[in-house]
Amino acid sequence: MKLTRRITLRQLEVFCEAARQLSFSAVAETLSLSQPAISMQIRQLEDAVGLVLFEKAGRRKALTEAGRKLFEHASRILGELHDTEQSLLALKGLTDGSITVGLVSTANNFAPRLLAAFSQRHPGIEVRFVVGNREALVSLLKENQTDLAVMGRPPGELETVAEPLANNPHVIVAPPKHALCGQQKIDLQRLRGETFLQRESGSGTRGVMEELFRAHLFKPRKILSLGSNETVKQAVMAGLGLSVLSLHTLSLELRSGEIACLDVVGLPLQRSWHVVHLRRRPLSPAATAFRKFLIEETQRYLRDSYADLQLAAHVKSAAKPMPKKPRKKAPQ
């Protein structure tokens, strides 16, 4: 079976997008095609390989074993083609190119502004970003679907190059009328009778909360899992419980007084933002330039943009200072 004579790159692109989203209607919207066109491309690919690639799973699709195998190889093929394209563009200099950047959902609160600042400096470079939890980003890196990823803890399960960008303080948040708001040096164990709201499995924010609880042998009265930072914040504001969140997700809520930080002993927890890429995958000139931009700009941008919140959350006295770098004009 000569697949090179029977399948097209467009079919592989459509298939990989369908394998990620598991919804032909969603793929049609993403690729600006009709749903019948998506179905036809998948059907032609199945005819070419002689195997069924998708099966029904309720209202959604699911990959068959053949589909999973093909997705693994097709992702690498498309990733290699992207790298080839970027290498050829490098011969023209840093005037063209495209970058795909993966962001954990927490970083989505600040990273798009940095992406916009980079695009202003390099208007010929197309920057595309995808947002997901930590587990999703690790999968994208593994499948060569993203050039760079901005996340908290780098993936130990992959051979990557990770560079710290800035402090990422985590705090315990509560509704502003909570009985402990305004009190100082609260012992964590005083919160044992509370309900805590955590992110879904695979989230880096959830991992920070679990690490905090293990380190202090702490077990709250009840834990509820919710699917996003926004849902957690809304639930905290509604009085459903407390949570552990990155300070960088709380800009609007803290400034408007809709959420409060509790002054718990040992907090804020200091973690770091990192920019990560696969060690085995050479970066294109465009991706190299953007990685350098993030390393130079992220720390200062976050420090300047969140200075008032850091004071409000007692970060100034608790944080370990990042190495100082030369001051430059803030990205607009």
pLDDT classification of 143: cutoffs 50, 70, 90: confident
**192 & 264 share domain:** yes
Q: What is the pLDDT of residue 321?
A: 38
- The tally of domains found in the chain comes to 3
Helix or strand (DSSP H, E) at 84 = helix 65-90
Question: Higher confidence at residue 331 or residue 100?
Answer: 100
pLDDT at 29 over 70: yes
**159 & 276 share domain:** yes
**231 & 279 share domain:** no
Residue 183 tokens, joined: 């009190």
**19 & 37 share domain:** yes
Its sign, for the CA torsion 83, 16, 68, 100, is positive
Tell me if 85 is assigned to some domain: no
Distances (CA, A) of 193 to 36, 188, 189, 190, 200: 54, 11, 9, 7, 22
Q: What is the pTM of this model?
A: 0.67
Tell me if 134 is assigned to some domain: yes
Tell me if 81 is assigned to some domain: no
Listed residues 245, 271, 297: the one ending a domain: 271
pLDDT at 276 over 90: yes
**137 & 190 share domain:** no
Domain with 129 in it: 92-166+272-318
Listed residues 73, 105, 126: the one ending a domain: 73
**176 & 266 share domain:** yes
Domain holding 131: CATH number?
3.40.190.10
**123 & 174 share domain:** no
Tell me if 173 is assigned to some domain: yes
Question: Higher confidence at residue 93 or residue 268?
Answer: 268
Tell me if 326 is assigned to some domain: no
**178 & 110 share domain:** no
Tell me if 86 is assigned to some domain: no
Helices 35-49 and 24-31: crossing angle in degrees, nearest 10, is 110
**188 & 240 share domain:** yes
**117 & 211 share domain:** no
Rounded Cα distance between 60 and 18, Å, is 11
**124 & 217 share domain:** no
